[in-house]
Amino acid sequence: MEQYWAEYNDALELRGDKSPDSWSIRWQGCTPGLYWSAPGTKSMIGPILGGIGLTAAMRVDTGTLIESNLSQIEVINNRVELLFSLKDWHETTVRLNWWPSGDGQFDLMAEVATRSVGMLKAVEFGVVSSISTISEPVETWLESFRDQDASLRSIDGRESAWFKAQSAFGPDETATGNGSNKLWLPSLLTNSNQKIRILETTHPDDISRRYCDIHSRTKRTWTLGHDIERGVVFRTRHRCRIIQPDELINWSSLDAWQNEFVSEPLPLFR
């Protein structure tokens, strides 16, 4: 049966899927993103591939993707597109596109553009994925950075809005190498009893810095880190997949999944 998105309870639910799982895209009173319910449960897990918003140099305020900034919702074939027009961000827009790209698998492509000239420096777009059903405080984040500039962005003041509580930080040993040889392996997010598992990744070319919960329940990825000028559109690409209970995951299968994602051409909708 062909998949399609249908409005239900202030959200868009994926219908026509043979799987007993329930997927929806939500944005009202929550981080805009994918939310998932396991078979036979009412608990909503997420956000998965959720759009956090923007940060920029010399700005402690954040370009938050909240409902009051949402200017357009559109369903085009099997793709859902949300357009946010950020107030006080020099006519900057963030366009989020989600679509199913496989069995229990979804992609997100974010597009960031502005009408300003020379106003937005070292702009980052953030994505969060969480396996938790409720928001949990994170005691320790494992952090990794693309380069020294990305590391400095973690302490230039822009993080105050995201890390309000006292947290410990340590190096993420799963990200290795330097420069063009940097390896950003996918993350396997699991709940406390490891019955729910989600693979999540971001295209390596897009990552600026990444924070993983030491318990592997939440991952926050900041992308781009570039100056944005009028007429330029930056795009970031992300993917997630539900791992079935009887499915075995090893490094070989992770590499194959990541390589397939990286080798795919950039989707252009316009």
Domains of the chain (ranges plus CATH)?
4-263 (2.70.98)
Cα-only R_g, the chain: 18
Residue 165: the pLDDT is 65
| The Cα angle at residue 82 between residues 76 and 87, in degrees rounded to 5 | 150
Q: How far is it, in rounded angstroms, from Cα 160 to Cα 166?
A: 11
- What region does 120 belong to: left with phi over 0, alpha with psi -120 to 50, or beta? beta
What is the pTM assigned to this prediction? 0.93
pLDDT below 70 — which residues of the chain? 1, 17-21, 39-41, 133-136, 161-166, 194, 269-270
Q: Tell me how crowded residue 254 is: count the other CB atoms within 10 A of its CB.
A: 16
Length of the chain counted residue by residue: 270
**Spatial contact of 99 and 23, defined as CB atoms under 8 Å apart:** no
Q: CA 154, CA 152: separation in Å to the nearest integer?
A: 5
Q: What is the pLDDT of residues 115-145, one digit of tens each?
A: 888 889 999 999 999 987 666 677 889 999 9
Token output for 94: 């963030």
**Element (H or E) spanning 29, and its range?**
none
Any idea which residue has 């822009």 for tokens? 158
* Cβ-Cβ contacts under 8 Å for 104 (sequence gap 6 or more): 19, 21, 241, 242, 244
Q: What is the pLDDT of residue 270?
A: 63
Torsion 190-160-97-253 (CA) sign: negative
Which pair of tokens denotes residue 83?
């357009």
